[in-house]
Amino acid sequence: MKASQKDFAAAAPRAVRDCRIFYFCGPDEGGASVAAARIAAMLPDAGERVELSGADLRRDQVALADEARSTSLFAGARHLWVRTQGDESAAAVENLVGQIDAGEGGICPVLIIATAATDKSRIAKLLEKRGDALVAMFYPPDLGQVTGAVRTMADKAGIRLNGDLAERLARAAGLDVRLAQSEVDKLALYLGAAPAAPVTATPEAFEAICARTEDDGFAPLVNAVLSGDTARLPAELRRMREMSMSPVAVLLAIERRAAQLAGLATRLGPAGNVERFVEAESKARRIFWKDRRDITVQLQRWRGARIGRLNARLLALHQALLASSNPGETLLAQEITQIARFAATAARPRR
């Protein structure tokens, strides 16, 4: 069985009823993760969640089948939650399918979230024609789609959220629906909202609690890249891998800051004083006060033709990420390292 983000909601009830293996892939790792969580929530008896990594399954190719047959510590229900990259777990999935086809009973639900994989992967091809498996492919949503999703999340949480605030939240979450859901949950808690007692959200409440890219872990990396901080960049790239940040979401955060810099550079002009300009923009609340220092540094590096070339390169990188069958974080790390080195060599403009 195959599905995409367009028909996943309609296919999910049938998949929960008929499938044992659920494979979520595509460039939108955030959307795939949310879909997996939705399937887990719909399982009639989800029980204990047992987490496995692709690296574990590459080393021990029978572990997945063994775990799927095992019972939980307290003899209750369980489901497996696997995070993997590309086809590193293919042999393990083949072993699991072999056990099922051999008539092995008692197989618990297995949910696999695969980054840097598509519906053309080896695992997807193995599962897509099976009646007991779901292959779901997710592409990065656009701003309108995530804004709509935020409105739906807010309605369910008892938050009255207007279109402007919903769009701001979608942007702050880097168009990552997982982060957006987290922000809606925090906003509901802050407002004391509930479905039975809805509360109207205000811009002040949004600013008080909603995560900006810094709170979500993106901004230190964004700032290291665009400020040309090559000494700090390796640690930020390592943290990106350790936290399994979505490469597309990270790139979107960089693109948003680059677009902001382009707009600021246009208003500043070629001979303007950067520090005085940023101070005025901050006082006018067009620049968030926490971003003031970083934007000052970045405007000194990205002006004129440089900012145009940066945005063109980011667009090309975005297209390459979506088209690549290789791990996205590797391509992203290589490209943004080059951008950071270029920023580091930029001469500071006249004051």
Q: What is the pLDDT of residues 18-54, one digit of tens each?
A: 999 999 998 777 788 889 989 999 999 888 889 998 8
CATH 1.10.8, the chain: domain bounds: 143-209
Give the pLDDT score at 75: 55
Give the pLDDT score at 294: 93
Query: Where does 219-345 sit in CATH, by number?
Result: 1.20.272
Tell me yes or no: is domain 143-209 CATH 1.10.357: no
Give the pLDDT score at 315: 84
What mean pLDDT is reported for the chain? 86
Look at residue 350 and tell me whether its pLDDT is greater than 50: no
Which of 72-76, 212-216, 286-290, 344-348 shows the lowest per-residue confidence on average (mean pLDDT)? 212-216
Give the pLDDT score at 201: 93
Look at residue 215 and tell me whether its pLDDT is greater than 60: no
Q: Residue 16 in contact with residue 43, Cβ under 8 Å? A: yes
Give the pLDDT score at 287: 82
* Max intra-chain CA distance, the chain: 75
Look at residue 109 and tell me whether its pLDDT is greater than 90: yes
The CATH number corresponding to 2-137 among 3.40.50.2000, 2.40.30.10, 3.40.50.300, 3.40.640.10 equals 3.40.50.300
pLDDT tier for residue 131 given thresholds of 50, 70 and 90: very high
Q: pLDDT (tens digit, 9 = 90+) per residue, 170-200? A: 887 767 777 788 889 889 988 999 999 999 9
Give the pLDDT score at 351: 43
